[in-house]
Structure 1
Amino acid sequence: MTVDSQERLRRWRLVLGGERAGEGTGCQLSGGDADMDRTLTALYGQRGGGGGGGGGTRSAGLNGSAPRVARWLGDIRTYFPSSVVRVMQRDAIDRLGLSRLLLEPEMLESVEADVHLVGTLLSLNQVMPESTRETARQVVRKVVDDLERRLASRTRSTLNGALDRSARVNRPRHRDIDWNRTIRANLGNYLPEYGTVVPERLVGYARASQVVKKEVILCVDQSGSMAPSVVYSSVFGAVLASMRSLSTRLVVFDTSVVDLTDALDDPVDVLFGTQLGGGTDINRALAYCQSHITRPSETVVVLISDLYEGGIREEMLKRVAAMKASGTQFVTLLALSDEGAPSYDRDHAAALGALGAPAFACTPDLFPEVMAAAIEKRPLPIPER
């Protein structure tokens, strides 16, 4: 048997799990492989799918014991890369109901932090004991800081470019002409016989008095299914709020509406000001946002929701139509996360699309481009499905 064949059998044995399920491989595990198999069995049970016997049994072995779970968390970090560790932690929370153990500081210190873990912690925020709260904040802080390092620089550079372009004037005074951009804009008018460009369109710098501050309102659904979107929205809200050329408001909602704008200097405070779960009243949230629009033509409203409306559907659509008619740029994101297309209300999405506000899922990497397009009032970069 070749080395490659042995490795394939080893991998199948780890996938199938359990002695009886793995009998067909003829592969015996020992040492580190046996320990790895035990960590997998503790979460997924005996993973064989065959008929009778132990192969089809699923009996995870963590038993909800905090010490045992803590050891298991250490083991998976030993045997698997961080990306796999995060998946296994998520499965443990979902399959084995380990959320309550995250209320213990010792457990929180053992986990690999990611966006999904932050969402779980936020859902437990209201029942979290004081002894755990500071540890939870440290876990959330680590994830938020990592996201800011990844997203902030590109977001600022992309939006500053968009704001600069939107501030340019096309009928500038002679001393305000941006000659480099004017020449680039008129290269099609080059006259070779004269060796010159005819500047049919002038591009100028906007004077300080002409630069109009843009307003952004992030309106974020905080129902339980939107947890990753809430995390990313808080980070982007803080980044946008740090830009002098933007005025940013962050509103979160379920059946009630909470304005978290005053906490935008610290996204961790924003996140602990949310309350994941509950119903959804998009109409009420949009009514609040609409009441804070004072310069419609300079305002971008971003609704981040799966559109499962518990409020008044017709009123919601009327508000969107009214905002667009007034000149407000309206963007609908079904999710702001790395997860792809979520479950969403297709009827509401179609109705918003008919109003010129197409609804689509957006990854964090695409979000700066979406905002830049909205600021410049050009078509949104909607990803292909």
Structure 2
Amino acid sequence: MSDMERDRRWTLALGTEAEEGAAALSDGDRRMSRALSALYGDGTETKGRGGLGGSAPRVAKWLGDIREFFPGSVVQVIQKDAFERKGLRQMLLEPEFLATVEADVNLVADLVALRGVMPEKTRETARVVIGKVVAELMERLERRTAEAIRGALDRSRRTSRPRFSDIDWPRTIRANLSHYQPEHRTVVPERLIGFMRQQRRIVDLDEVVLCVDQSGSMASSVVYASIFAAVMASLPVVTTRLVCFDTAIVDLTGELADPVEVLFGIQLGGGTDINRAVAYCEDRIERPSKSHLILITDLYEGGNADALVDRLAAMVLSGVNVIVLLALTDSGRPSYDPALSARVAALGIPVFACTPDQFPGLMAAALRREDINGWAADQDIKTVRAE
């Protein structure tokens, strides 16, 4: 590394604006340095909202700069720091900001939490941003969830009448090389080779109730749970109910056809009354032996913990398949009440956290009434132990 390149990197790392250091920076380097200094500077030169001011065009330019110089994953980290360090949560009220922001699940949670104080124009822009994230998540998770529940491809068996999505193109091309058309530079596939679908026999497919804690600490879990509820509601092999709660209860089952509308029906924040929410779900379960309750909560109970444990025990005894997820997030690392979690685990109820990518497999195992603790062990997921 040359001395000039070394000086350049130290100047960018330290945010030095001294004349001798700045001389080694290109125009692009100076823009990068200013973008980072606006957030991570010492604040002696900039005041207000992190030095970004109240002007939306300046915010849009700042976001454009960081997206130009850093990959999306780093942009999201910088945005998170901006929300926490520079009070940018207030700037979410500006539609121009929402139109340029790098959206992710955490931002969706922030928008949902702030929607009550947004002007109508901003709410519509927020819907567009949330809709974009929802569409990306649906694309990522929908096929995997449907295949996990309906069946999966058995690649050890072949068929000459495959569905289009099941065609084994390399084998099909090799089998039809004799039908190559030089004038068109293509192969005519007179014989298709594909994978057979192995239909998994999934028993007790009746009703899945996703009962989700919507207190502020569970924000990302609520977003993911809502997406999965919408996906599952579109499958004819299972009936899905979505119930969100804090100290109040919101049944969003009727909105599952529109995931964005579901998210706008969530009330993030407030206290937590898990027992009351579980009682609501219990009252709506008609056939316990064909019902599955997925309770997504950190188990910090603000209501009656003893009554909650008794109620869960009665539900398990009646035949309801109860699973407690302490978090449904990308990190899969929950903060939870260890004492109450151990009491729930002592009932034989699996208690653990999982990531969105693991959730389809969990649901398939749950619907087949497999040993969920065994499934979690196979996935290298740590479960809560009983007292």
Contiguous gaps of at least 5 residues in structure 2: 153-198, 383-387
Aligned residue runs from structure 1 range 92-111, under 5 A? 92-111=82-101
**What amino acid sits opposite 1:314 in the alignment?**
D
Report the alpha carbon displacement of residue 19 of structure 1 after superposing the two structures with TM: 4.2
Q: Is the 8 A contact 1:64 1:98 kept in 2?
A: no
Q: Which residue pairs with 1:342 in the alignment?
A: 334
Q: 1:72: Cα distance to partner?
A: 0.9
Q: Secondary structure at the match of 1:334?
A: strand
Q: 1:6 to 1:301 in 2, by over 3 A?
A: farther
How much does 1:251 deviate?
A: 0.1
Q: Which residue of 1 aligns with 2:260?
A: 268
Q: Which AA in structure 1 matches 2:381?
A: E
Structure 2: which amino acid aligns with 1:290?
A: E
2:355 to 352, 363, 367: 363
Distance change (3 Å), C-alpha of 1:64 and 1:259: same
Other-structure match for 1:41: 37
Q: Is the 8 A contact 1:300 1:329 kept in 2?
A: yes
Q: What is the CA-CA distance between 1:240 and the residue it aligns to? A: 0.6
CA shift at 1:140, angstroms?
0.5
Within 2, Cα distance between the matches of 1:62 and 1:96? Answer: 9
Counterpart of 2:365 in structure 1 is 373
2: distance between equivalents of 1:34 and 1:332?
Answer: 50
1:16 and 2:6 aligned: no
CA distance in 2, matches of 1:27, 1:355: 68
2:131 to 141, 144, 152: 141
CA deviations 1:249-296 (Å, max 9, x no partner) are 000001001100000011101000011111111000000011111111
Q: How many residues align?
A: 330
1:321 aligns with 2:313: yes
Q: Give yes or no for the alignment of 1:70 onto 2:60.
A: yes
In 2, Cα distance between the equivalents of 1:28 and 1:82?
Answer: 27
CA contact (8 A) 1:18 1:46 kept: no
> Equivalent of 1:115, from 105, 108, 133?
105
Aligned twin of 1:298: 290
- What displacement does 1:46 show? 4.5
CA distance in 2, matches of 1:302, 1:354: 17
Aligned-pair Cα RMSD in Å: 2.8
**AA paired with 2:219?**
A
Q: Is the 8 A contact 2:50 2:87 kept in 1?
A: no
* Deviations, residues 111-147 of structure 1 (Å, cap 9, x unaligned): 1111111110000011111111111111100000000
Paired residue for 1:81, among 71, 96, 102? 71
**Equivalent position to 2:300, from 288, 303, 308:** 308
Q: Distance in 1 between matches of 2:346 and 2:204?
A: 30
SS of 2:340 mapped into structure 1: helix
Maintained 8 Å contact 2:204/2:291:
no
Q: 1:332 to 1:212 in 2, by over 3 A?
A: closer
* Structure 2 letter corresponding to 1:302: I
Identical aligned residues as a percent: 57
Question: Do 2:204 and 2:367's aligned partners in 1 also have CA atoms closer than 8 Å?
Answer: no
Which amino acid letter does the alignment assign opposite residue 368 of structure 1?
P
User: What code does the residue aligned with 1:42 have?
Assistant: A
SS in 1 for 2:151: helix
What does the per-residue CA deviation read over 1:130-189, in whole Å, with 9 as the maximum and x for residues that have no partner? 111111111100000000000000101111139xxxxxxxxxxxxxxxxxxxxxxxxxxx
Query: Given the alignment of the two structures, is residue 284 of structure 1 paired with residue 276 of structure 2, yes or no?
Result: yes
Indicate the SS of the match to 2:352: strand
Q: Is the 8 A contact 1:125 1:275 kept in 2?
A: no
Output the CA distance in 1 between the equivalents of 2:313 and 2:38. 53
Tell me the alpha carbon deviations over residues 79-135 of structure 1, each in whole angstroms, 9 at most, x when there is no partner. Answer: 111111111112111211111211121111111111111110000011111111111
**Cα 1:33–1:374, aligned 2, differ >3 Å: closer, same or farther?**
same
TM-score under structure 2 normalisation? 0.79
Report matched runs for 1:123-162 at 5 Å. Answer: 123-161=113-151
Of 232-241 and 343-352, the range deviating more from structure 2:
343-352
Structure 2 letter corresponding to 1:272: F
Q: What's the CA shift for 1:30? A: 2.9
Contact residue 105 and residue 135 of structure 1 kept, 8 A: yes
Q: Which runs of 4+ in 1 moved over 3 A?
A: 5-13, 25-28, 63-67, 210-213
Contact 2:16 2:22 in 1 (8 A): no
* C-alpha contact (below 8 Å) 1:350/1:358 kept by paired residues: no
Structure 1 residue 361 displacement after superposition? 1.5
Instruction: State how far apart, in whole Å, the 1-side matches of 2:335 and 2:10 are.
Output: 33
Residue 8 of structure 1 and its aligned partner are, at CA, apart by 6.1
Normalising by structure 1, report the TM-score.
0.79
Structure 1 portions without partners, runs of 5+: 48-53, 163-203
* Amino acid aligned to 2:12: L
* In structure 1, C-alpha distance between the alignment counterparts of 2:308 and 2:15, rounded to whole Å: 52
Residue identity opposite 1:70 in structure 2: A
What SS does structure 2 have at the residue aligned with 1:117? helix
Say if 1:106 and 1:40 are closer, same or farther in 2 by CA, change over 3 A: same
Counterpart of 2:187? none
Partner Cα distance (1:350, 1:247) in 2: 30
Give the secondary structure class of the aligned counterpart of 1:249: strand
The residue type equivalent to 2:85 in the other structure is R
- Give the 3 Å change call, closer, same or farther, for CA 69–322 of structure 1 in structure 2: same
Aligned 8 A contact 2:214 2:266 in 1: yes
CA separation in 1, counterparts of 2:100 and 2:22? Answer: 36
Q: What corresponds to 2:239 in structure 1?
A: 247
